[in-house]
Structure 1
Amino acid sequence: MNPILGGDYPDPTIMREGSHYYMTHSSFDYLPGLVVWHSTDLVHWEPISSALKTYLGSVWAPDISKYNGKYYIYFTVSLANTNGKKSNFVVTADSPYGPWSDPIDLHTPDIDPCHAATDDGKRWLYFSDGKRIRLTDDGLAVVGQEKEKIYNGWQFPGDWVVEGFALEGPKIKKIGKYYYYLNAEGGTAGPPTAHMVVMARSKSLDGPWENSPYNPIIRAYRNSDHWWNKGHGSLIDTPDGRWYCVYHAYENGYTNLGRQTLLEPLEMTDDGWFKPVITDLEGKSADPVGKIEAPIRPMAPVSTKEQVLNEFRIGKEWRFYKNYEPERISISNGTLTLQAKGDMPGSSTPMLFVAGAQAYELECEIQLNDDKAAAGIVLYYDSVFYMGTGISKAKRLRYRKGIEKGGAQHPEGVDRSHVWLRLRNDHNIITGEVSYDGVTWKRETWAMDIAGYNHNTLYQFQSVLPGLFCCGEGSATFRNFKYTVLP
């Protein structure tokens, strides 16, 4: 069952309304951002809307909730062109399907907002480091600028191998007479055993907060675990009363896929705490790698990524890096025409999607519409670190570490503007193929290892996303795009 969303879906935030679940994640530098997902069984998910279409900067750690009939997503932005300055924003909608409002700047720093409200209607935003600030009654502004520290976290043993203390990612849920307060500790990346989910509870949002005797309720204890850096958890229940924790984690050996969204069952103890169901012989939380029964029988079939990627649905599967530029694209019957931008894939604002598979193959038919255009397939970490294969009228192109590394000449007697390309990611080893008729394929002579394209090496909390680019001048047309998961 796990991951329930494979690939780079970090910092999950989830809510339930009746038999319907809604979830969103950090979208960082990609637009449209804050994609909202819907499920009826907690396992099969469909994208239904995107709440952000304006580039503000890098978008972190959102929180989705419904209050007084309106949906809210609060989120942190590391503001563009400010040398790391941060603020928090909110968007609202009458339906999780949108449309969502323009973002409203709350003009308050700190990271990882979480909305919580008392029974008498006092609204708060909780942040990392155990801080909070009052919200106005409509939730669209903060009251003053002074934050109150109300929680110091749970102190883990001093010999644990972690990145730091890093109290962050708060999530609050009221169950019965208690508010349950989840936080992440230990650092988001770094050593595999760093990140963890801890819990506290109180009968009042003002505290005092009592730490759980079962802390941490989620953690990787060994470097050999299948899932690393487990953290940023949220409590969620089913209509029949079963409880789960939704959180993110890196996959051992595939950190360049990003932090993936996982689901783990919890049980409530007789004294009202939550503890993991899946444990090792010492009673510690263990990897949820086996088959876990789906919480609810799926109500309807859900389209797979392989089935819908060739529809080029912008804001659902497909996205842009840093700029949302719908004017550059034309889509008709599975054919995409993309206007050129920049002189390299890194400056071209490529169209990208999240791939959760450990191994996959990309294939596309590409037609250059202008003599000065270049186009192809890219595996993109950011505008500096990427690799890919493409064509210009002059030759076949190869990119490595964001640098054009030269490429082979087109053979004589072929249409140099009409080429089929394949890019194969075989467990981080990349190879390419080319065809001039879509039938006969020739293996390229180069190969590359992209295992190092991850946050612990390159920072920025990005991941490797496959996609399509067009740079130079003019445009290119892409047809018959295929994404095939490999064993």
Structure 2
Amino acid sequence: MNSLKFNFLPKRTFLLGLATLLTSTFASAQETKKPALKDAPVFSQFTYRGDDRIYKENPLGPDEFYTPILQGCYPDPSITRKGNDYYLVNSSFAMFPGVPVFHSNDLVNWKQIGHVLDRTSQLKVETSGISAGVYAPDIKYNKNNDTFYMITTQFSGGMGNMVVKTKDPAKGWSDPVKLQFDGIDPSLYFDDNGKAYVVHNDAPAKGKALYEGHRVIKIWEYDLQNDKVVPGTDKIIVDGGTDINEEPIWIEGPHIYKKNNRYYLMCAQGGTGDNHTEVIFSSDNVMGPYVPARNNPILTQRYFPKKRVNKMDWTGHADLTEGPDGRYYAVFLGIRPNEKDQVNAGRETFLLPVDWSGEFPVFENGLVPLKPKLKTPTGVKNQTGQNGFFPNGNFTFIDNFAAKKLDYRWIGMRGPREAFITTGKNGLQITPFAKNVKEVAPISALWHRQQHNAFESTVTINYTPKTEKDLAGLVCYQSEKFNYVLGLTKKGNDSYLVLARTEKGKTSIVASEKIDTRKPIQLQVVAQGNDYKFNYATDKQNFINIGGTVPGDILSTNVAGGFTGSLIGLYATSANDIQP
């Protein structure tokens, strides 16, 4: 691996010890409604427009659709099926609400129907760094009791491994049940005979680790009546990976499937960076022993030229389902780096057809450079971006915040959105917290994922700061330690527009200038790969640049580390420390 090895592997090891973080004290989303303040900023006319070259050069035919199917920070996908209904979930880390859940009838057209973890009794991330929180959720439908389960690892609030369940993913999920086992990436398997099992990544027994990144896959019997693993049933079914003599690292993300009375264990291997792969094992018994396929890996992009055209990379962490046409399909994570090979949009959800006519599943074109387009399943019409379906490719998202219900794409950080927002005919009002974006705490900011390498995002703000501690504006945020803030604040008797860059937690002023805030101001960020420009307009049409062209490197995983993608935030604070 490249330098990302040093961002991902040690950090992941460190996160295993975060189960002692404090419990969130925020009230639930259903219980809180922050009263509006007279002088709080009002945001309106938000637009986000993607402009990636790959989509302009690869227009869709009538029977095609784009992959990734979910652009931006939607990593670690898991999928399940009940009849003609498909449900998909993703990791959400310290974002609130957590674990977005999507629905489809055809694997092409997806609607977000909510979040699995949408209240503080489920999600305790108040003191989590952005890349802690909720990891690698697994969603499964159990036909034996007509119940959906979501099992995950929550690195916060003392939660650890946990499970929630529901009869209908669109109607809310139970409070979590803590599960009494260590490790990460748990997944449930329900056998035809009604028995249930949990598989997960874990450390080798104490003193048995042979090298850095040595992990094992464990299986437990699972008690469905009491939602707990059966003590004493745990067994290591994979030690190290496909061949421990080659010292494979980070065997994780396990899923069990059954086909032709044989069990298949599919896992990610190699770490979630540019050495990422997907591998598979088989067994005659659900408890093993599991034997690796001879043709592993079955999915990867690690063998190809670094500077290939339309590069997509880091593929792995996959999950399988049978499609509406009787063929198998897989969802998995991957990335689309910019021209400097930097990953600003984060890890995204891709899809590929899978040929399972032989003994092992074969990802179709999973071992060649990925292409941006796929053929739709027979009889399926691509409606992405229409009729409420999630868009992909180059698209424009517009929100005036007039709807009673906030669009599911908007998220908070470490606490409920309802604690600081009010929406109405004038737009979105944010009541500022006495916390700023550099703090590991709930932030009074509403976030939209960066979903393209080339994009433009604009918002109108109506706001006059009263003191130097007041600031509101637009944020590009990779983490609490790496971000840009374009905001309105006060110095003396004057209002200022300030652009600040925070790198490794240290903030420097890029540019600032006096500004008249008696009329609404438009704030804008325009990105072309690594080049970001921040602009403003006071007449709704003639944008003026502030700070020149600034590098987007601090908004990349390569520089900032962690597991998320860059976010665009509408932000207010009463604890501003950025002075013109």
- Give the equivalent residue in structure 1 for 2:255: 171
> Quick one: which of 409, 415, 418 aligns to 2:513?
409
Q: CA deviation at 1:379?
A: 0.8
Deviation at 1:370?
A: 5.2
Distance 1:468-1:346 versus aligned 2 partners, 3 A rule: farther
CA distance in 2, matches of 1:342, 1:240: 54
CA distance in 1, matches of 2:83, 2:67: 23
- Deviation, structure 1 residue 294: 1.7
Aligned match of 2:224 in 114, 134, 137? 137
In structure 2, the CA distance between the partners of 1:240 and 1:439, relative to structure 1 (3 Å rule), is closer
1:397 and 2:474 aligned: no
Judge conservation of contact 2:438–2:480 (CA < 8 Å) in 1: yes
- Counterpart CA distance in 2 for 1:342 and 1:56 is 20
Cα pair distance change 1:65/1:309, threshold 3 Å: farther
SS of residue in 1 equivalent to 2:514: coil
Structure 1 residues 294-305: aligned runs within 5 Å: 294-295=376-377, 297-298=380-381, 301=386, 302=389, 304=391
1:15-34 CA deviation, whole Å, 9 max, x = no partner?
A: 12222211001111101001
- Equivalent residues in 2 for 1:339-378 (5 A)? 339-342=431-434, 344-347=436-439, 348-368=443-463, 371-372=466-467, 373-378=470-475
Letter in 2 for 1:172: I
Quickly say closer, same or farther: Cα 1:447–1:345, change in 2 above 3 A. Answer: farther
1:103 offset after TM fit, Å? 1.9
Residues 156/267 of structure 1: CA separation in 2 closer, same or farther (3 Å cut): farther
- Could you tell me which amino acid in structure 2 is paired with residue 90 of structure 1? V
Partner of residue 315, structure 2: 230
RMSD of the TM alignment (CA)?
Answer: 2.5
Give 1:431 shift: 0.6
Cα deviation digits, residues 51-82 of structure 1 (max 9, x gap): 113242410011101121111100001125x7
Match of 2:8 in 1: none
- 1:467 shift after superposition: 1.5
2:368 maps to: 286
User: What's the secondary structure of 2:115's corresponding residue?
Assistant: strand
8 Å CA contact 2:431–2:444 kept in 1: the answer is no
- Note the C-alpha offset of 1:309: 4.3
Q: Which residue is equivalent to 2:412? A: 320
Partner of residue 348 from structure 2, selected from 255, 260, 283? 260
| Distance of 2:484 and 2:554 partners within structure 1 | 12
Q: Which residue of 1 aligns with 2:362?
A: 275
Equivalent position of 2:165 in the other structure? 92
Structure 1 unaligned spans of 5+: 280-284, 475-487
Does the 8 Å CA contact 1:117/1:123 hold for their aligned counterparts? yes
Point out the more displaced range, 195-204 or 395-404. Answer: 395-404
Bigger RCO (CA 8 Å, 6+ sep)? 2
The 3-state SS of whatever aligns with 1:11 is coil
Distance 2:232 2:451 in 1: 40
1:79 to 156, 161, 177: 156
Distance 1:369 1:90, change over 3 A: farther
8 A contact 2:199–2:220 mirrored in 1: yes
Alignment partner, residue 290 of structure 2 = 209
Matched residues in 1 for 2:460 and 2:398: separation? 17
Pick one of 155, 161, 173 that aligns with 2:243: 155
After superposition, where does 1:14-93 map in structure 2 within 5 Å? Answer: 14-53=79-118, 54=120, 55-57=123-125, 58-67=133-142, 68-80=145-157, 87-93=160-166
**Deviation at residue 459 of structure 1 after TM alignment:** 2.6
Q: Give the SS at the match of 2:408.
A: coil
Alpha-carbon contact 1:32-1:315 (below 8 Å) kept:
no
Compared with structure 1, are the counterparts of its residues 406 and 199 closer, same or farther at alpha carbon in structure 2 (3 Å cutoff)? Answer: closer
> Structure 1 residues 206, 420: CA separation in 2 closer, same or farther (over 3 Å shift)?
same
2:438 match: secondary structure: helix
1:120, CA displacement in angstroms?
A: 2.3
Percent same amino acid at aligned positions? Answer: 26
**Deviation at residue 149 of structure 1 after TM alignment:** 0.6
The answer to whether the Cα contact below 8 Å between 1:104 and 1:140 also exists between their aligned partners in 2 is yes
**Alpha-carbon distance change, 310 to 144 in structure 1, aligned in 2, over 3 angstroms:** farther
Relative to structure 1, is the Cα distance of residues 299 and 195 closer, same or farther in structure 2, using a 3 angstrom cutoff? Answer: closer
Aligned counterparts of 1:144 and 1:91: Cα–Cα separation in 2: 20
Which residue does the alignment assign to 1:469?
571
Distance 1:391 1:52 in 2: 33
Task: Judge conservation of contact 2:68–2:372 (CA < 8 Å) in 1.
Answer: no
After TM superposition, give the deviation of residue 349 of structure 1 in Å: 4.0
- Cα distance in 2 for partners of 1:333, 1:261 equals 35
Alignment CA distance shift 1:303-1:378 (3 Å): same
* 1:139 Cα deviation from its structure 2 partner: 6.0
Q: Which residue of 1 aligns with 2:539?
A: 437
Distance in 1, Cα, partners of 2:283 & 2:168: 31
Q: TM-score, normalised by structure 1?
A: 0.87
Aligned to 1:247: 332
CA deviation after TM superposition for structure 1 residue 314, in Å? 4.6
Residue 422 (str. 1) matches residue 556 (str. 2): no
> What code does the residue aligned with 1:327 have?
A
Unaligned runs of 5+ in 2: 1-65, 126-132, 202-215
Contact residue 183 and residue 197 of structure 1 kept, 8 A:
yes
In structure 1, C-alpha distance between the alignment counterparts of 2:377 and 2:450, rounded to whole Å: 25
Q: Deviations over 1:138-189 (max 9, x none)?
A: 362222276321223312894xxx9x51110001122231222110111112
Secondary structure at 2:344 match in 1: helix
| 2:228 alignment partner AA | A
CA contact (8 A) 1:397 1:404 kept: no
Letter in structure 1 aligned against 2:478: Y
Q: 1:388 aligns with which of 460, 479, 485?
A: 485
Q: Distance in 2 between matches of 1:113 and 1:197?
A: 16
Corresponding letter in the other structure for 1:149: I
Q: Distance in 2 between matches of 1:448 and 1:314?
A: 32
Aligned 8 A contact 1:254 1:358 in 2: no
Flag the 1:186–1:452 CA change in 2: closer, same or farther, 3 A: same
On the 8 A contact 2:282/2:290 being kept in 1, the answer is: yes
Work out the number of aligned pairs and report it.
Answer: 455
Q: CA deviation at 1:97?
A: 0.3
Q: Secondary structure at the match of 1:91?
A: strand
Q: Deviations over 1:182-232 (max 9, x none)?
A: 10111112xx2x110001122321122132222111011123452222110
Q: Deviation at 1:108?
A: 2.4
Kept in 2, the 8 Å contact 1:257–1:356? The answer is yes
Shift of 1:12: 0.5
Task: Give a deviation string over 1:378-416, Cα, whole Å, max 9, x none.
Answer: 1111112111211124200112025251643325xx335
With the length of structure 2 as denominator, give the TM-score of the two structures. Answer: 0.73
Match of 2:70 in 1: 5
